[in-house]
Chain A
């Protein structure tokens, strides 16, 4: 079955880079996503990467995909206090039920 794992907590100082890691087990995943959730809010899609890509950059966000190791990471450059939130990694398989499977979320705390 599908399984997505993330570390639970990350603390960084404002201005530093943050790297949030994720591992998944489903080798048929076609899209892998990063969502951001602020307290009391829904999920905001940050970025996604197609499984045939190694890297995607979007302003301060860089996504790296190592398909061999089934490892996905999200790097946030110049982290700001407004980046404090929970970040969820999610994947969607190529076959069968095409619904997202989420990791447990990484709580990012940015210290001023």
Chain B
């Protein structure tokens, strides 16, 4: 069982609002990831981190930003949400010691109205 947690699970907000999706893992994993997934569709990597103070953009261009100040915490922020940001956001983590197996959180469903 993976110990990776995302909050909120479901969020409906208005256009222009700032939101932060939280992701925490208690496994001490050095690598963390954010994927974006529209319902029933494939997952796209939007951000990843190899450790504290390390963040990189993924394959899919995203207006969101991330930070990695602590190993266990990898929040994603949208400064001004728009309806096009409506999607599911999945956080994940891994470490070489676990064979680089990537474990996912339950996901955060964001709806921007």
Give the tally of cross-chain contacts (CB within 8 A). Answer: 60
User: Looking at the complex, which of B12-20, B38-46, B61-69, B77-85 is the stretch in contact with chain A?
Assistant: B38-46
Residues of B with Cβ closer than 8 Å to A? 2, 6, 31, 33, 35, 40-43, 45, 48, 56, 58, 90, 92, 94, 99-107, 109
How many A residues touch the partner, as a band? 20 to 34
A87-112 at interface with B (beta carbon < 8 Å): 88, 90, 92, 97-105, 107
CA distance A86 to B90 in the complex (A): 15
Q: Is the CB of A105 within 8 A of B99?
A: no
Q: Is the CB of B100 within 8 A of A86?
A: no
Tell me the dominant secondary structure on chain A's binding face: strand
Given contacts A99-B33, A99-B48, contact A42 B104 (CB under 8 A): yes
Chain A residue at minimal CB-CB distance from B96 = A98
